Amino acid sequence: MSTIFWAGDSTVQFNGILTFPQTGLGQVLPMYLKPEIRVENHAKNGRSTKSFIDESRLVPIYDRISEGDFLFIQFGHNDEKDTDPARYTDPETEYRTNLGKFVNVARDKKAYPVLITPLERRNFKPDGHLEESLHLPYVQAMKETAKELYVPLIDLFTMSREKLEQVGPENTLTWYMHIPAGIYPYHPEGLDTDNTHLRYEGAVIYAGCIARGLKELGGVYADLLLEDLFAKPFYGM
């Protein structure tokens, strides 16, 4: 039985009742996987490649991952934060070096590393199209690292932008943490400006993008997915 270990940030992490209805990609990806595939989610809110490593969060992954497992590596949101030296990484230098450290952990244990570009934010301009993304330097750096290290890559960034553009600003509100006041006890005043963190619907849709990426990679990556998952199209794919 293979296990997918996932290193990432708040867009991936498992959420409990204290952050409900926020939902991470790592919570819902098992819906797309064969029942025998486990997901061990090590993603943590607010972490970059730098802070994840500095806090020794890569150590338990190294200790537990084994031959035939997978390591999904998804960072970028917090590496961008150039006002925070504890998290910021330069995309052309430290970010790429850090990605290599994650890859080496997997390969040292004969596991399969997979790089996943950062999820796009829901930042629309008044004309209904997305703003230019702050992720772009990190997306490009991850793609270059994937080529340099011969690591499979799933371009969630591009797929999520395509989904957002296709569906538009109004109909994607429920994908992100836009919530009315007075409904959820831990967000009593509601939220109307969180275009980064996901709710359940958005997590399911974007996890479907990751499933599509695994299918396109083929081989052992496609073998993680449910049989007949792509027998008919649906909104998450």
pLDDT value at position 122? 95
pLDDT value at position 179? 80
pLDDT value at position 230? 78
pLDDT value at position 140? 98
Residues 6+ apart with CB under 8 A from 130: 120, 123, 124, 161, 164, 165
* Superfamily for domain range 3-222: SGNH hydrolase (3.40.50.1110)
Is the CB of residue 202 less than 8 Å from the CB of residue 175?
yes
Residues in the chain with pLDDT < 70?
182, 190, 232-237
d(CA 93, CA 99) in angstroms, rounded, equals 10
d(CA 52, CA 231) in angstroms, rounded, equals 38
Classify residue 50 as left (phi > 0), alpha (psi -120 to 50) or beta: alpha
Q: Which residue has the tokens 């772009």?
A: 136
d(CA 228, CA 64) in angstroms, rounded, equals 31
d(CA 76, CA 142) in angstroms, rounded, equals 9
pLDDT value at position 234? 58
pLDDT digits (tens, 9 = 90+) for 108-124: 999 999 999 999 999 99
